[in-house]
Amino acid sequence: MIHVCSLSRLHDTVAATGARHLVSLLGSEDNLTRPLDIPARNHLWLQLHDISEPRDGHVHPASAHVEQLIAFVERWERASPLVIHCYAGVSRSTAAAFVAVCTLNPRRSEAAVAEALRRASPTATPNIRIVALADDILGRNGRMVEAITAIGQGLLAEATPFRLGLRGR
């Protein structure tokens, strides 16, 4: 199971879920303390900002970031939950969760994953740059971008922690 949350709810979410793997999507300037239950080898910190276009002073999501994410989730043995978080739990983390589920379920419809994401979180607004890079890397021929575009922007708010299943429904 994948759990998504904001930075402010990270430690509580890890404790409540029993997660032993963590993906952080934050800028290097963000104050991140890895939860004690997460071994360093099970923590991927992608240091990037929530932007879709290059901007001075910010780290633009790049192919290398998405490749690291895909490799990390492919190594995750799934015996315990994975927590994915960003600052607000709305954009970078929801994109990463979408990418993770698509990576681990190559035959599952991108639209079905996006619809499950929307049902799980009315605030989810996945970072389209992260999704587009993964779409290309995974050879999904634009279907990941189309699926996220189809669900539209989520409600404007800090996300409530949620979980997204790896299989149907």
Are 147 and 114 in contact, with CB atoms under 8 Å apart? Answer: yes
pTM to 2 decimal places:
0.90
pLDDT tens digits for range 25-43: 999 877 899 999 999 999 9
Q: In terms of DSSP H, where are the helices of 82-161?
A: 92-104, 110-120, 128-137, 143-151
Tell me what pLDDT residue 114 has. 98
Give 95: exposed, middle or buried? Use CB within 10 Å, 0-12, 13-18, 19+. Answer: buried
Average pLDDT over residues 41-64: 89
| CATH T-level topology, domain 2-164 | Protein-Tyrosine Phosphatase; Chain A (3.90.190)
Cα(25)–Cα(42) distance, integer angstroms: 14
Tell me what pLDDT residue 158 has. 61
Tell me what pLDDT residue 145 has. 98
Q: Residue ranges per domain, the chain?
A: 2-164
Cα(133)–Cα(53) distance, integer angstroms: 13
pLDDT tens digits for range 77-128: 999 999 999 999 999 999 999 999 999 999 999 999 999 999 999 999 999 9
